[in-house]
Amino acid sequence: MTAHHRIDVSKVGDVTVVRFVDKTVLDESSIHELGQELFGLVDAQNGRKMVLNFSNVEFISSATLGKLIVLDRKVKTLNGRLRMCHIRPEILEVFRITKLDKLFDIRDGESEALAAF
């Protein structure tokens, strides 16, 4: 098993559910580590089905948005599917402003995200 420091990973059926450990990821090394853990997970599972649960996330900056965009691209390249859920209104607003809500598949809660596969 790969050790993760920035994410908690669990399985619901054939879907990998990822929760973020940190409320705020701001410094570059943490953002890099978060990216590596997410990308490694996609590589290990060859894309497939993944839910990112943001319930613990209180703040996000453009650097983390960049990692999410690369993750989304990576999953799509492998013909996998990525859903995001439990995103608080302020962060949802960031996605709306940047129009990433059009790129990402965003659902209200985890059950809705899981049901969407």
Partner 1 sequence: MGHESTAGWHRQVRLPSERGASRTVTDELLEQLGAHGWSAEEVFAIHLAAEEAIVNAIVHGNKLDPAKCVAVLCEVSTNHVKIEVEDEGDGFDPAQVPDCTLEERLDVPSGRGVMLMRSFMTRIEYNAKGNAVVLEKRREANAN
> Please, what's the b/e burial string for 5-14 (b: 16 or more CB within 10 A of its CB; e: otherwise)?
ebbebeeeee
Please count the residues of the chain: 117
SS3 call for 117: coil
Contact call for residue 70 and partner 1 (CB under 8 A): yes
- Residue 20: exposed, middle, or buried by beta-carbon count in 10 A (0-12, 13-18, 19+)? buried
Contact call for residue 27 and partner 1 (CB under 8 A): yes
Closer to partner 1 by Cβ: residue 61 or 111: 61
Closer to partner 1 by Cβ: residue 6 or 17: 6
> For the chain, where are the alpha helices, taking DSSP H only?
28-45, 62-77, 89-97, 100-103, 110-115
Q: Which stretch binds partner 1 (CB under 8 A): 6-14, 42-50, 58-66, 79-87?
A: 58-66
Closer to partner 1 by Cβ: residue 47 or 112: 47
Minimum CB distance to partner 1, residue 103 (Å): 5
Closer to partner 1 by Cβ: residue 15 or 60: 60
Contact call for residue 14 and partner 1 (CB under 8 A): no
Contact call for residue 69 and partner 1 (CB under 8 A): yes
How many helices and strands (H and E) does the chain possess?
Answer: 5, 4
Minimum CB distance to partner 1, residue 48 (Å): 20
